[in-house]
Amino acid sequence: MHVAVIGSGYVGLVAGACFAETGNDVVCVDKDAGKIERLQRNEIPIYEPGLEDLVRRNQTEGRLRFSTDLTRAVRDAEVIFIAVGTPPNEDGSADLSHVLDVAGEIGRAMNAPRLVVNKSTVPVGTADRVEAAIRAATSCTVDVASNPEFLKEGAAIEDFMRPDRVIIGVRSDDARLTLETLYAPFTRRGGDRFIVMDRRSAELTKYAANAMLATRISFMNQMAALCEALGADVNLVRAGIGSDQRIGRAFLYPGPGYGGSCFPKDVKALVHMAREAKVSADVLEAVEIANARQKMVLLEKTRQHLGADMRGKVVGVWGLAFKAETDDMRESPAIPLVDGLLAAGARVQVHDPRAAESAHAIFGDRVLYAADPYSAAHGADALVIVTEWLMYRNPDLDRLKALLRRPLIVDGRNLFDPARMRGLGFEHVGIGRGHG
Contact 383, 358 (CB under 8 A): no
Please check whether residue 55 lies inside any domain of the structure.
yes
From 147, 171, 197, give the residue that closes a domain.
Answer: 197
Round to the nearest angstrom and report the end-to-end CA distance of the chain: 58
CATH number of the domain that residue 356 is part of: 3.40.50.720
Contact of 132 with 121, CB cutoff 8 Å: no
Average pLDDT over residues 138-158: 96
Domain that holds residue 136: 2-197
Q: Which of 270, 293, 316 is the last residue of a domain?
A: 293
Q: Is residue 435 part of a domain?
A: no
- Is residue 212 assigned to a domain? yes
Catalytic (active site) residue 262:
yes
Predicted confidence (pLDDT) at residue 434 exceeds the cutoff of 90: no
- Do 276 and 329 lie in one domain? The reply is no
pTM flag (> 0.85): yes
Please tell me whether residues 57 and 173 are part of one structural domain.
yes
Q: Is 409 within the bounds of a domain?
A: yes
CATH number of the structural domain spanning residue 261: 1.10.1040.10
The last residue of one of the domains, among 269, 293, 317, is: 293
Please tell me which residue in 18, 28, 227, 262 is annotated as part of the active site: 262
pLDDT tens digit string along 382-394?
A: 999 999 999 999 9
Q: Are residues 84 and 105 in the same domain?
A: yes
| Band of residue 435 on the pLDDT scale cut at 50, 70, 90 | low
Q: What is the pLDDT of residue 436?
A: 47
**Residue 39 confidence (pLDDT) above 50:** yes
Overall average pLDDT of the 188-198 stretch:
85
Residue 263 pLDDT greater than 80, yes or no = yes
Same domain, 139 and 155: yes
Give the model's confidence band at 189: pLDDT under 50 very low, under 70 low, under 90 confident, else very high.
Answer: confident
pLDDT digits (tens, 9 = 90+) for 81-117: 999 999 999 999 999 999 999 999 999 999 999 999 9
pLDDT at 142 over 80: yes
431 by Cβ neighbours in 10 Å (0-12 / 13-18 / 19+) ranks as buried
Q: How many domains does the chain have?
A: 3
- Dihedrals φ, ψ of 408, to 5°? -105, 120
Asked whether residue 154 falls in the same domain as residue 271, the answer is no
Domain shared by 24 and 59, yes or no? yes
- Note whether 176 and 95 are same-domain residues: yes
Q: Are residues 247 and 317 in the same domain?
A: no
Total Cβ atoms within 10 A of residue 107? 23
The total of other beta-carbon atoms located within 10 Å of residue 343's CB is 10
* Identity at 335, one-letter amino acid code: I
Q: 276 and 336 share a domain? A: no
Verify that 20 and 108 share a domain, yes or no: yes
The reply to whether 284 and 352 lie within a common domain is: no
The pLDDT assigned to 210 comes to 97
For residue 33, pLDDT over 80 is answered with: yes
Q: H or E element: which one contains 368?
A: strand 368-369
For residue 311, tell me if it sits in a domain: yes
Instruction: Report CA dihedral (246, 249, 253, 258) to the nearest 10 degrees.
Output: -70
Residue 434, in any domain of the structure: no
Rounded Cα gap, residues 175 and 168, in angstroms: 9
Residue 145 and residue 86 in one domain: yes
